[in-house]
Structure 1
Amino acid sequence: MATAQELMRAQFARFAALDPQLPDTHQLPSGAEAIVARIADGSTVAGLATRNASPPGSAQSLWQAGEVFELFPIVGEQPRAGMDALLHTWREWLAGQASGPNSACTVVWPSRDVEATRAFLDHGFLPLACLAVRPTAPVAYTKPSGTVNIRRAGPADLDAVVELALSELEYAALVGTSTYRPDAPQLKRTAAHVRLHSSDPVWLAEQDGTPVAVAECGWVDTAKSPGGSRLRSGTWGYVNCVSVQEKLRGSGVGQQLMATAHNEFARAGAVGSFLYYNPPNPLSSVFWPRQGYRPLWTMWEVRPATALR
């Protein structure tokens, strides 16, 4: 029987062959409960199961369920049969956990691993979000005709930034994991206030002096950020939220906004940029690949947790 360390080595060797942009390893959670599953051929696979809460009033409650059960699979070279067996065992483990309607099961897995994709689909998971990456490169673009101007936003732009961010959240709640909760306006205002008073770049597009689009960006050093462990080492540009007024979508404003952000990332020496988008979103699933992004990790989800098959 292979040990967890042997399974991990085999798994990351397989990841490297699947996608050279994946990191050599990534951080596993501490304090998680280990589960073991047996495959039909007699070999075993393992996983780490965690349970986390997103209490009301927390920022994360806007993009995830109130109770999240996450599995970190360790399946070695058995992405389909191993994942299938592990998900069956995880379902049995979940039966002993109390969960309500505001709950979810999630697994984050390399987007290019189609063998595992089949197992996720068979167990009722949906690919509701993905982490997408873009290599750093300056962008040459033709400014669209009209009176659109791009500038850095500041503290005085708080109301405009919040209004545009809430518009994006309202749309995202229809096509992904986000939820427009009653306290969303205050949560977005608090987050925008912090960002606008930091060194993180926020770009605002204005038409005749009226804000019509925003790109909230930031910086992530993978050596300092737990969230960066799914990226290769270095400093990355992060695209947190992009929102364009409905009447201007398709006009080139979003492309101009992101060209400005990408050129800033390039000037600062970032190794690349990343963001999260929802594959079921008919706008972002087209827009982001056109800007040079492609999926690296897919966030598979089942809501509520009891819907896992």
Structure 2
Amino acid sequence: MDDVIRGHASRVRAADPLVAGQDELPESVGEKRFAVRDAVGLASVDRINPASVRASWSPLVVHRLQARVAGPDPEAALGRLLDRWLHDLRVDGPGEALSVTWPSRDTVPVRALAVRGFAPVAAAAVRPLRWEGPVIYPWIRPATQGDAEALVRMYVRLVAYDAQFGWVAVRPSTPARIRESVAMEVLPLEWCWVAEVAGEVAGCVIVQPPERSTWIGRSVRTAPTAYLGVMYVEPSARGQGVGVALTEVAQAHAAAQGVASMILHHALPNPLSTPFWARRGYRPLTTQWVRHLQ
């Protein structure tokens, strides 16, 4: 088992030296470890309270697999592991889903996911940061309590747009939970800016500073890391450089605070965010492969 993890980590490191955490597979409460030839995995089930803020970001029941594969044929090894996992799966009802997150540049094994009905739905993308001086746009400013309702409105619209791609969802609880998050977390604890166009708030960017982004920071070898969780521009203000300006302000502030890299998630089928973030210098670190169960 240790040989498999070492072999997996060596292959991933050669493909992408930035990816961290591949040289171990610690088991937590509720996870089940299992192995096949040249592969080891941890299976878990995430059952999400439909009234929680997390309920907006995935199906309510997600079966997750963490996998490490090695040997002469990593695709075959991953296939054997997936087949064992799928065989042992206990599904309680419709609407459940499967999720496997994989290092994006470790492409050798991933055909095993595709031929079993998994599709890449989201990427965690990373960009190194370097302090190059302040970035100032007079129409971009730090968000205040007076912007709370505008932030909630844009946040909900972001969720609604990404819901088209099948993984996130606007639930009855979504507006209320986002309103609580903005009031209790975003405004007092995170970095948030708004853009004003023609005197109205027309865009926002929200960043979790390093002390709040350790959950994702452990996936990359550079530190400290910040997480860009929300960036939204109203349709009427798009095409005017608002998104670029918001991103530049957030990145400059993070770099001034000593942040070494920024991480974000974006939906791969999203025709707006995928090219936008690539042009901004973000590249895939890990890819989430999913399959919906009927």
TM over 0.5: yes
Question: Does 1:33 pair with 2:26?
Answer: no
Question: Does 1:15 pair with 2:17?
Answer: no
Q: How does 1:162-177 map to 2 (within 5 A)?
A: 162-177=152-167
Give 2:234's match in structure 1, choosing from 242, 245, 254: 245
**Structure 1 equivalent of residue 84 of structure 2:** 89
Identity of aligned residues (%): 30
**Structure 2 equivalent of residue 255 of structure 1:** 244
Whether the aligned pair in 2 keeps the contact of 1:221 and 1:228 (CA below 8 Å) is no
The secondary structure found in structure 2 opposite 1:230 is coil
Provide the TM-score with structure 2 as the length reference: 0.92
Deviations 1:9-39 (A, max 9, x none): 11111111010111154663413112222xx
**Structure 2 equivalent of residue 202 of structure 1:** 192
Gap regions ≥5 residues in structure 1: 38-42
1:233 is displaced (CA, Å) by 4.8
**Structure 2 equivalent of residue 216 of structure 1:** 206
The secondary structure found in structure 2 opposite 1:115 is coil
Whether the aligned pair in 2 keeps the contact of 1:111 and 1:298 (CA below 8 Å) is yes
Indicate how the Cα distance of structure 1 residues 7 and 266 shifts in structure 2: closer, same or farther if over 3 A, else same: same
Whether the aligned pair in 2 keeps the contact of 1:277 and 1:284 (CA below 8 Å) is yes
Deviations 1:22-62 (A, max 9, x none): 1154663413112222xxxxx44221111111111111110
Q: How does 1:229-244 map to 2 (within 5 A)?
A: 229-244=218-233
More displaced stretch, 22-31 vs 228-237 = 22-31
Structure-1 separation of matches of 2:97 and 2:210: 27
Provide the TM-score with structure 1 as the length reference: 0.88
Structure-2 separation of matches of 1:260 and 1:254: 10
Give 1:75's match in structure 2, choosing from 69, 82, 107: 69
Gap regions ≥5 residues in structure 2: none
Structure-1 separation of matches of 2:237 and 2:160: 17
Whether the aligned pair in 1 keeps the contact of 2:216 and 2:227 (CA below 8 Å) is no
Structure-1 separation of matches of 2:6 and 2:253: 37
**Structure 2 equivalent of residue 54 of structure 1:** 48
Structure-1 separation of matches of 2:136 and 2:210: 29
1:163 is displaced (CA, Å) by 0.7
Structure-2 separation of matches of 1:176 and 1:19: 28
1:250 is displaced (CA, Å) by 2.0
Whether the aligned pair in 2 keeps the contact of 1:158 and 1:196 (CA below 8 Å) is no
Structure-2 separation of matches of 1:45 and 1:75: 4
1:227 is displaced (CA, Å) by 3.5
Q: How does 1:58-207 map to 2 (within 5 A)?
A: 58-77=52-71, 78-94=73-89, 97-138=90-131, 149-207=139-197
The secondary structure found in structure 1 opposite 2:281 is coil
Indicate how the Cα distance of structure 1 residues 219 and 92 shifts in structure 2: closer, same or farther if over 3 A, else same: same
Indicate how the Cα distance of structure 1 residues 141 and 74 shifts in structure 2: closer, same or farther if over 3 A, else same: same
Indicate how the Cα distance of structure 1 residues 176 and 281 shifts in structure 2: closer, same or farther if over 3 A, else same: farther
1:283 is displaced (CA, Å) by 0.3
RMSD of the TM alignment (CA)? 2.2
1:141 is displaced (CA, Å) by 11
1:88 is displaced (CA, Å) by 0.9
Q: Aligned partner of 1:228: which letter?
A: G
Structure-2 separation of matches of 1:191 and 1:159: 12
**Structure 2 equivalent of residue 40 of structure 1:** none
1:140 is displaced (CA, Å) by 8.5
Structure-2 separation of matches of 1:179 and 1:233: 32
